[in-house]
Amino acid sequence: MPSLIRNRVKEKLKRGDLTLGAWITIGHPDIAEIMANAGFDWLLFDTEHSPLNIEIVQNQLQAMSNTETVPIIRVAWNDMVLIKRALDIGAYGVVIPWVNNREDAKNAVRYCRYPTEGLRGVGPRRAARYGLDSEYLLRADEEILIVAQIETREAVDNIEDIVSVEGIDATFIGPSDLSASLGLMGQPFHPKVIQAIEKVLDACLSSGVAAGLAYAQTIEELVKFIRMGFRFVGATTDMGLLLGKSMEVLKDIKERLKS
């Protein structure tokens, strides 16, 4: 049976095209299915800071399997076991936290790739359609998107080394953690943070690695970063959409009742 794995996001990033995604933090299949049908290029399932576990995420990946949206998992750590479990349930890519130097980046790639190029254990399960996809093992290394999260002063200082590692497809700046690391807690877009963000962007543009950004505070800010050259961009979150729309509806009702 021919392989079905085809990473449209990785293809677009290689061409230099923009990809827009959304964070998934709420553990219900309907959330993933609805947001995948909305037309995002990718959904990022957050197993680092949300209560999602691997079983819940597998159910959510199954719910979105009939859409064009690419499933990506942010693992909790740069850990071989966590990464292989994420890939084995069918993620087409992983966002890996706390990549601070060249060795961290090299390990991230090793954990995502099968021998002899890497260390990923062979047991893809759902990713290989429970054994029906005979080509998965041959194609996985070239299709899996490997994203290094940049969230510390050390990572920014070492960004040229990180993006020089073969196999790193994109970076993903976390402005909140980066601002904290720079001594600017709660100021994710302080001018000094913007300087660090621009340094990462420049290194990505020079190396051919796609520059990614976890979020912006407004749509106007988001568009500005896209125009700067960011191509792997988090546009919104499930939680943010629910909260924002709920508050908007309540405000609208209350204002209408005043008139």
CB 22 within 8 A of CB 40: yes
Averaged over 210-225, what is the pLDDT? 98
Q: Could you tell me the pLDDT band of residue 1, with boundaries at 50, 70 and 90?
A: very low
Domains of the chain as residue ranges with CATH? 8-258 (3.20.20.60)
pTM score of the predicted model: 0.97
> Does residue 121 carry a pLDDT above 50?
yes
Averaged over 85-113, what is the pLDDT? 98
CB 1 within 8 A of CB 134: yes
Active site residue 28: no
What are the tens digits of pLDDT across the range 3-54?
668 999 999 999 999 999 999 999 999 999 999 999 999 999 999 999 999 9
The reported pLDDT for the residue numbered 4 is: 67
DSSP state of 69: P
> Does residue 167 carry a pLDDT above 80?
yes
Averaged over 224-228, what is the pLDDT? 98
User: Which entry of 49, 192, 245, 251 is annotated as an active-site residue?
Assistant: 49
Within 10 Å of residue 218's Cβ, how many Cβ atoms? 9
CB 132 within 8 A of CB 124: no
